[in-house]
Structure 1
Amino acid sequence: MTTILTRRAALLGGAGALLSGCAGKFRSYDGPTVTRLRLFKSRRLLALEGTEGVLRTYPIGLGFAPVGHKRFEGDGRTPEGSYVIDRRNPDSKFHLSIGISYPNEADIAYAAGQDREPGGDIFIHGGPRRGIDPTDVRDWTAGCIAVTDRQIEEVYAMVRDGTPIDIYA
């Protein structure tokens, strides 16, 4: 009987720990509204701005070919230009992620003129696996912007769909 109770307690405790870990990735935010994101590729810096100025900054990792504007699917580049946050993925394989509206009409037209595909699915997301800081392993994504898991939890809570993002070389 004691063994059965001990096993049940262990199972319930394990399930509780698992559930509390899942709940922990969704944070709340009640501070100033984020009105714009600015990403500086050469400085490896993401800034979240409000009406009063910069609210938070984060070091970032980029696509594996960080120089230049993304032109084609598979080129490993991170886009440059003006876009918006257009979606969120709570089930991302990279912890959490928020989508960037790349490609825009100009990106699509340029790629079509070269008889190529522009690519897509550009996100700001967390790290590749536990224990690895994506900003220590620079430029490992296929064109996305990487921050740590903890940082994407903050960004995910702070940034709303429709928020403009300007990405500079």
Structure 2
Amino acid sequence: MMRWLIRAMALTLLLLVAVAVGRHLLAPVPPAPPVPLPPLTGTIDLIELDKSERRLTVYRDGEALRSYEVALGPEPEGHKRRQGDGRTPEGEYRIDRRNPQSAFHLSLGIDYPRPQDRARAAEAGVSPGGDIFFHGQPNLLPHIERRAGDWTEGCIALTNAEIEELWRVTPIGTRVVIRP
């Protein structure tokens, strides 16, 4: 009887060890932390924004160097027609100003409205709007990493760390292509 009890206890202990080891081996492995990207250096010559994908990609000599997820305005579909429509313009532009005192961390302005944008707005009897920027998060919300959803008034928002990186490598005159 004693041998049977010792065997039962040994089998129970062995079963418990096997279950513990099995749980350990079958437990989901947490993903590895992301590998930090090397900092961008030099300058870029193209910023390309795909509005439908909410994806901004920067290039140098035709090579994509980095992509960022962005937020747009509340009405992102279609070309900007007038001030206050919540849209981001579409087409080809240039970086024409840098604002280190922006209300949105840092900002890089584009040369919207172009003459054709002004003419189209004049025909409709409205203002084309202006002040379209790539910018960071609102300075009034210093503790957020990324404000959720589309929330700008037609600008293109990145995280503060992303706009800092973009700021460092983007000279005045950089070509900007904004696709639908």
Verify same fold: TM over 0.5. Answer: yes
2:156 to 140, 145, 157: 145
Taking the aligned partners of 1:52 and 1:68, their CA distance within structure 2 comes to 27
Taking the aligned partners of 1:150 and 1:131, their CA distance within structure 2 comes to 13
Aligned sequence identity (%) = 49
Match of 1:65 in 2: 75
Match of 1:167 in 2: 178
Match of 2:133 in 1: 123
Larger radius of gyration: 2
TM-score under structure 2 length normalisation: 0.74
154-163 vs 30-39, which deviates more? Answer: 30-39
Alignment of 1:73-92 (within 5 A): 73-92=83-102
Match of 1:113 in 2: 123
SS of 1:166's partner is strand
Structure 1 residue 32, shift from structure 2 partner: 4.1
1:40 matched to 2:50? The reply is: yes
The unaligned stretches of length 5 or more in structure 1 are 1-28
Taking the aligned partners of 1:30 and 1:145, their CA distance within structure 2 comes to 20
Q: Which amino acid aligns with 2:176?
A: I
SS of 2:86's partner is coil
TM-score under structure 1 length normalisation: 0.79
Q: Which amino acid aligns with 2:170?
A: V
The unaligned stretches of length 5 or more in structure 2 are 1-38
Q: RMSD of the TM alignment (CA)?
A: 1.4
Taking the aligned partners of 1:110 and 1:138, their CA distance within structure 2 comes to 29
Taking the aligned partners of 1:30 and 1:58, their CA distance within structure 2 comes to 13
SS of 1:153's partner is helix
Taking the aligned partners of 2:62 and 2:89, their CA distance within structure 1 comes to 27
